[in-house]
């Protein structure tokens, strides 16, 4: 059975994805949450068009629920969603004010520019794009010729390519692609004994307000006995906070890497770090690193053997609201690669041991917003 491998993030991962699109023989399937109309987004779009022109069938799942983030982040240009609905315009304005300041020029740039490439993609007979519905699909997934899959945290855009810390991983083998499809359809249950399996939440396959992957991911943390290395974009779900406190209290060496800044939920992230330090007494076996860049990766490595990596955060939205896909693997070499990826960012970050400063009102508003979205979207 083939072993999973780490592609990294940014340029390294994007280069690998482009190469696999160029090499595809019959079929490419993509699940994209964010897709910006910028240099990176257009490079990928052109690669898809070239593949289609040589006969490759391309299926793109692009979720409209993410349009608000495309209209408010990066260059404010959405690749597919050029028509901004009133509710999206209001949400984008709120995000821009909250995180980017009252910058009139930025809001002006949010007016969507037409893109002939998008028109060509939508019109091509070999390309099918599902982009008009809110599917709540947060996964970042590429499948090539039904024999190779790539998944992780990286969206499509210049910020992911040039600025943010992301992680993508690859698994070869038609048997793994088949297994992933079965898991996404709810046809089979998660099985850690397989060595490689997929942690999945699917709104189509799972009952409303349920998320099997929550308990499966928490079990990885609760089963850790020596070490936990975590690099996580967004925090705030009390169930994960409690699991990390339990791990520290039973003597596990816990290292958490997250961003000092974030595009959303920044204050809630910092409040969670502060809570972890306060509840555990900031012992030597707890290390929290705040990185100056936006950390967008979502990975957990337990005891240098068990790995959990993909699109799901430590938030309520990732468990019961969004469709998510993570890879689970029991492989020491793969675990060490993921661990080293996370730890390599520690040197550029700040280790915090005392009180973490954050905006208390903002953290409460963010927590309330997530709770509202989880209740109404779940």
Q: What is the DSSP letter of 36?
A: B
Q: What is the mean pLDDT of residues 299-317?
A: 97
Residue 207 domain boundaries? 189-377
What CATH number should be reported for the domain holding residue 84?
3.30.870
* The predicted structure's pLDDT at residue 354: 87
- How would you list the strands of the sheet with 168-172, edge to edge? 5-8, 168-172, 148-152, 141-144, 27-32, 57-62, 127-130
CATH classification at residue 225: 3.30.870.10
Residue listed under structure tokens 């992230």:
269
Phi, psi dihedral angles at 348 (to 5 degrees): -90, -5
Q: What is the pLDDT of residue 111?
A: 85
179 belongs to a structural domain: no
Q: pLDDT by residue (tens digit) across 28-44?
A: 999 999 999 999 999 99
**pLDDT tops 80 at residue 286:** yes
| Same-domain pairing of 211 and 134 | no
For residues 268-281, average pLDDT: 96
Q: Identify the domain boundary among 148, 163, 178.
A: 163
Q: Which residues contact 192 (CB under 8 A, 6 or more apart)?
A: 216, 328, 330
In tens, the pLDDT along 77-101 reads 999 998 876 665 665 555 555 555 4
105 confidence band (pLDDT: 50, 70, 90): very low
With beta carbons less than 8 A apart as the criterion, state whether 321 and 374 touch.
yes
Residue 180 lies in a domain: no
Same-domain check for residues 126 and 204: no
pLDDT at residue number 152: 98
181 within domain boundaries: no
Q: Report percent pLDDT > 90 for the chain.
A: 75
- The answer to the question of residue 242 being in a domain is yes
| Alpha carbon of residue 131 to chain centroid | 19
Last residue within a domain, chosen from 128, 163, 198: 163
Which pLDDT score is estimated for 349?
A: 96
Residue ending a domain, choose from 163, 181, 215: 163
* Residue of 277 and 210 predicted with greater confidence: 277
- Which 8-state DSSP code applies to residue 163? I
Which residue, 193, 192, 171, 167, is CA-closest to 180? Answer: 171
**Secondary structure element (H or E) that encloses residue 27, with its range:** strand 27-32
The conformational region for residue 251 under phi > 0 = left, psi -120 to 50 = alpha, else beta, is left
230 SS3 class? strand
Selected residue with higher pLDDT from 378 and 167 = 167
**What's the confidence (pLDDT) of residue 84?**
74
* pLDDT score at 108: 44
Tell me, yes or no, whether 316 and 229 share the same domain.
yes
Overall domain count for the chain? 2
Side-by-side strand order, sheet with 350-352: 196-201, 324-330, 306-310, 298-302, 227-232, 253-259, 286-291, 350-352
Specify whether 148 is located in the same domain as 245. Answer: no
> pLDDT digit string (tens) for 337-366?
999 999 999 999 999 988 998 888 888 887
Same domain, 339 and 373: yes
pLDDT on residue 102:
45
Residue 282 lies in a domain: yes
Whether residues 198 and 118 fall in one domain? no
The answer to the question of residue 263 being in a domain is yes
Query: Is the domain of 359 the same as that of 276?
Result: yes
Q: Are residues 156 and 204 in the same domain?
A: no
**Tens digit of each residue's pLDDT (9 = 90 or more) over 143-199:** 999 999 999 999 999 999 999 999 999 999 999 999 999 999 999 999 999 999 999
**Confidence (pLDDT) at 147:** 98
How does the average pLDDT of the chain come out, rounded? 91
User: Is residue 231 domain-shared with residue 193, that is, in the same domain?
Assistant: yes
Nearest to 4 by CA among 327, 310, 271, 294: 327
Q: How far is CA 352 from the centre of its chain?
A: 25
State whether 146 and 294 are in the same domain: no
Q: Most confidently modeled of 18-22, 108-112, 209-213?
A: 18-22
Range from 65-69, 133-137, 272-276, 372-376 carrying the lowest mean pLDDT: 372-376
State the pLDDT at residue 133. 85
Quick one: average pLDDT of 96-111?
A: 51
Residues in Cβ contact with 368 at an 8 Å cutoff, skipping those fewer than 6 apart: none
238/322 same-domain check: yes
In whole angstroms, what separates CA 164 from the centre of its chain? 12
Would you say residue 210 lies in a domain? Answer: yes
| Residue 178, in any domain of the structure | no
Q: Spell out the residues 6+ positions from residue 338 whose beta carbon is closer than 8 angstroms to its own.
A: 6, 167, 169, 229, 299, 301, 307, 309
Q: Are residues 158 and 64 in the same domain?
A: yes
Encode pLDDT of 205-223 as tens digits: 888 878 999 999 999 999 9
Exposure on the CB side of residue 371, measured as CA atoms within 13 A:
9
């Amino acid at each position: 059975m083939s072993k999973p491998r780490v592609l990294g993030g940014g340029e390294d991962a994007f280069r690998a994805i482009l190469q696999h699109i160029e090499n595809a023989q019959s079929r490419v399937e993509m699940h994209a949450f964010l897709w910006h109309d910028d240099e990176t987004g257009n490079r990928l779009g052109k690669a898809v068009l070239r593949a289609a022109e040589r006969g490759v069938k391309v299926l793109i799942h692009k979720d409209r629920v993410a349009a608000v983030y495309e209209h408010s982040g990066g260059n404010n240009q959405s690749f597919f969603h050029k028509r901004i609905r009133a509710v999206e315009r209001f949400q984008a304005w709120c995000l821009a004010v909250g995180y980017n300041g009252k910058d009139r020029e930025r809001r002006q740039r949010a007016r969507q520019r037409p893109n002939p490439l998008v028109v060509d993609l939508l019109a091509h007979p070999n390309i099918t794009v599902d982009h008009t519905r809110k599917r709540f699909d947060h996964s970042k997934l590429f499948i090539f010729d039904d024999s190779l899959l790539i998944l992780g945290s990286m969206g499509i855009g210049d910020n992911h390519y040039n600025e943010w810390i992301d992680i993508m991983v690859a698994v070869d083998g038609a048997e793994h692609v088949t297994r992933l499809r079965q898991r996404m359809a709810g046809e089979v249950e998660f099985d850690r004994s397989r060595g490689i399996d997929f942690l999945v939440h699917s709104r189509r396959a799972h009952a409303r307000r349920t998320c099997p992957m929550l308990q499966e991911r928490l079990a990885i943390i609760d089963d850790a006995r020596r070490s936990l290395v975590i690099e996580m974009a967004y925090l705030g779900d009390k169930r994960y906070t409690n699991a990390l406190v339990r791990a520290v209290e039973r003597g596990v060496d816990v290292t958490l890497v997250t961003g000092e800044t974030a595009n959303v939920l920044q204050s809630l992230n910092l409040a969670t770090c502060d809570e972890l330090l306060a509840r555990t007494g900031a012992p030597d076996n707890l290390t929290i690193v705040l990185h100056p860049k936006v950390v967008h990766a979502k990975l957990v490595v337990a005891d240098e053997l068990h790995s959990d990596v993909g699109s799901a955060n430590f938030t309520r939205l990732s468990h019961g609201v969004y469709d998510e896909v993570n890879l689970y693997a029991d492989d020491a070499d793969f675990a060490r690669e993921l661990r080293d990826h996370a730890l390599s960012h520690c040197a550029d970050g700040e280790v915090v041991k005392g009180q973490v400063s954050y905006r208390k009102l903002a953290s409460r508003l963010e927590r309330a917003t997530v709770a509202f979205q989880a209740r109404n979207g779940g």
